Amino acid sequence: MVMKRAPTHVHGHSLSRLNDLLRAQVDELGAISFTGTTLGGWSNLNLLARSEKGMFVVKFPPFRIVYADHPYDYQYRILHELNALDIAPEPIQMGRLEDARHTPFLILNYLQGEVINSLNELNWEKARLLDETLMLLNGSAPAGLQTYSTPDDYLAKKFGDVRSTISLLDTASPALEQLITDLFSVEMEVKKALSLIEWSRVPMHGDLQESNIIFKRSCAFLLDFEECCIGDPSYDICYMYLQSPSNSPTDIPKLPKFSRISFDDIFAVVPLVLAVLVAWSIERLCYSEMDLVSPWLTSPKAFAAVMEYTREKIAMLKEFLADS
């Protein structure tokens, strides 16, 4: 993963204080300490740490709120089973800091390998390795996976999430209000398009993107399983293609082919994928306007970038629906 300089404060704590709080909870790892670098990512702060027992990634959540439920519990359980298949990092420990918000954390074994910066770097060999890993994921059976029996169920969950988040916002900015209006104006059209999807009901990653794939030892490993669920393999491939800011549905035939999944399968899930990308982005913008995103994951420049990204993806969605 791309390393960056770590922020000076995380959830209100200096790195030194954060280190002390963490050590109090994970003494079995020895004298764990932060290296002063972060591994990037939009949804979590991923701090690199070391001890005499190795290198670790310590994940902290993005929002400055009190988490009643542990946000990493679901992923922690899944990772134990997927690590046994050698397709995911080993989960070491999850817990909470002894601070005012009882800040949640998750510690993973650090996987050092190659992360591609764009799908242009996904050559035939890397695509083959990723395909093998995805087949293992699709054939796995982690206990307690969230199940979506139909694409309609999946869309309903994502739209329900964004509606719940919007309800927390007193007043949206005009720009955000327009994006919200644009998304819900095409909701019925997206629902109609779902009838074309053949939903196989097998495990999928749910957030497959360049930063969540590590190539190591002639294998492809996957990271960040918050969105892992029972769904369909074509969703992951389509999502990987379309989450990139520069990619549109017209780019799909130019990218590597994956076994078992035809381009027709991928095109069928385009409306669902684009709608989910827009919904997620709107949720992030809402939290930003409520000033609940931790400073190390947002800035005026980042906010503007997410706003523009959302506009572009909603425009792609409208154009695709109009041409279908």
Same domain for 104 and 130?
no
The tens place of each residue's pLDDT in the chain, 324 residues long, gives 455 666 777 888 888 888 888 888 887 777 788 887 878 677 888 999 998 889 999 999 999 899 999 999 999 999 999 999 999 999 999 999 999 999 999 999 999 999 999 898 999 999 999 999 999 999 999 999 999 999 999 999 999 999 999 999 999 999 999 999 999 999 999 999 999 999 999 999 999 999 999 999 899 999 999 999 999 999 999 999 999 998 999 988 888 888 889 999 999 999 999 999 999 999 999 999 999 998 878 889 989 999 999 999 999 999 999 998
Q: How far is it, in rounded angstroms, from Cα 144 to Cα 164? A: 24
Please check whether residue 52 lies inside any domain of the structure.
yes
In the chain, what's the furthest Cα-to-Cα distance? 59
Same domain for 164 and 139?
yes
pTM: 0.94
Q: Are strands 4-5 and 33-38 parallel, antiparallel or unpaired?
A: antiparallel
Per the structure, the complete domain to which residue 128 belongs is given by: 119-323
Q: How far is it, in rounded angstroms, from Cα 105 to Cα 45? A: 10
Same domain for 70 and 202?
no
Q: Which of 45, 44, 23, 40 is nearest to 32 (CA)?
A: 23
How many domains would you assign to the chain?
A: 2
Please check whether residue 114 lies inside any domain of the structure.
no
Same domain for 61 and 134?
no
Same domain for 45 and 144?
no
Same domain for 293 and 223?
yes
> For residue 3, what pLDDT is reported?
52
Retrieve residue 210's tokens: 């360049």
> For residue 81, what pLDDT is reported?
96
Please check whether residue 68 lies inside any domain of the structure.
yes
> For residue 39, what pLDDT is reported?
80
> For residue 34, what pLDDT is reported?
84
Strand extents, DSSP E, 13-80 = 13-14, 33-38, 45-51, 54-60
Retrieve residue 63's tokens: 């929002």
> For residue 298, what pLDDT is reported?
82
Any idea what DSSP says for residue 147? Answer: B
Same domain for 212 and 312?
yes
Q: Tell me, what CATH number does 215's domain have?
A: 3.90.1200.10
Q: Which of 241, 208, 211 is nearest to 227 (CA)?
A: 208
Same domain for 151 and 285?
yes
